[in-house]
Amino acid sequence: MKIKVITSYKPGTWNQFAKRAVESVLEHWPEDTSVTVYHETQTQDLFEHPRLDWVDIHEAQPELVKFKNKYRDDPVANGEINEIPNGVRRPGPMPSKGSFQWNAVRFANKVFCVTHSLKNSPGYDYVVWLDADTYSFRPMPSSFLEKLLPGESMLTYLGRGDEDPECGFVGYNLKHTDIQKLIDEWEDLYINDKIFKITSGWTDCSSLIHLSREYQKHKSVKVHDIGHASGVKGHHVFINSLLGLYMDHFKGKRKQSGTSWKKDFWQQSHEETKKIVELDYWKSIE
């Protein structure tokens, strides 16, 4: 299985955690795994590696730039609550404070990074999105990824029941017959402002799960939910799932400590994940 790992990072966070994430993939993932890092003219961070490519997302995706420029001064499109004349309106009653869950401008970056890679990865079986605040802490065998990324599923993600999925890790099956349609429809949400009609939120996770559910319902597309649908317990579903055998994800305030927390772990019922906390990496954290 030929896999490309992709990620992007906010300007100024390269040395904080993104560099560590990229280097850990190059070190611990199978040796035939390639990595593409999407950036925003952060040329000072670039370094060379035979399995590493860099893409300036603003140069590669002009439609993203158009969307961001169109809505950069609209508070509601940026997750805030101050409405402007002829501006975006959030569905339902306006709450008392803003929320990242409605920041369409911020999360559009991630969507256009993914769609660019899906359109420009000939010869690959899967593109795997990995957040830049992750760390691969031990060697990962190819057999693990082959199990994680089945050929019959269009997507592999960490479901959280009725909530949006955890999209720190998402696998996109390039061999699936509907993947190109998904790319076109996902970009169309932003190119033609349809993202603002989604009622559950405007993050990349919200727009992806919106399309995923449509494809499952109307096209009988299979997805591989390695989160709650697979019996994983806990809100920090990333490290409580099979991914926790090889990776950590520094969600939110965990970026400050550079690790997840012991209290993030729940008792799991699956044999493979029952003893995750006994791995050397997890035993070492406070």
Average pLDDT of the chain is: 95
| DSSP-derived pairing of the beta strands 155-160 and 223-225 | parallel
pLDDT digits (tens, 9 = 90+) for 241-251: 999 999 999 98
The 3-state DSSP composition of the chain as helix, strand, coil percent (nearest 5) reads 40, 15, 40
Task: Report the residue count for the chain.
Answer: 286
Q: Residue 5's closest CA among 49, 64, 68, 62?
A: 49
Distance CA 230, CA 243 (A): 13
Distant-in-sequence, close-in-space partners of 118: CB < 8 Å, separation ≥ 6? 127, 172, 174, 179, 180, 183
pLDDT at 270: 87
State how many domains the chain has: 1
User: Would you place residue 167 in the very low, low, confident or very high pLDDT band (cuts 50, 70, 90)?
Assistant: very high
Q: Is the pTM of this model over 0.85?
A: yes
Identify the band that residue 94 occupies on the pLDDT scale cut at 50, 70 and 90.
confident
Question: 224-248 burial, b for 16+ CB within 10 Å, e for fewer?
Answer: bbbbbeeebbbebbbbbbbbbbbbb
Where do the DSSP E strands lie in the chain? 3-8, 34-39, 52-56, 126-130, 134-136, 155-160, 163-173, 223-225, 247-249
Residue 257's pLDDT band, with cuts at 50, 70 and 90, is confident
Cβ neighbours of residue 120 closer than 8 Å, sequence gap 6 or more:
none
* Residue 226's CATH number: 3.90.550.10
Whether pLDDT at 182 is above 90: yes
Radius of gyration for the alpha carbons in the chain, expressed in angstroms and rounded? 19
Strand partners, 247: 136
- Reply yes or no on whether the pLDDT at 286 is more than 80: no
What is the identity of the amino acid at 117? S
Residues β-bridged to residue 130: 169
What is the per-residue pLDDT across 29-44, written as a single tens digit (0 to 9) for each?
Answer: 999 999 999 999 888 8
Helices of type H across 100-258:
104-119, 142-148, 179-191, 204-218, 237-240, 254-257
What pLDDT was estimated at residue 59? 96
3-state secondary structure of 181: helix
**Coil, strand or helix at 36:** strand
Q: Residue 223 sits in which domain range?
A: 3-283
41 near 71, Cβ under 8 Å?
Answer: no
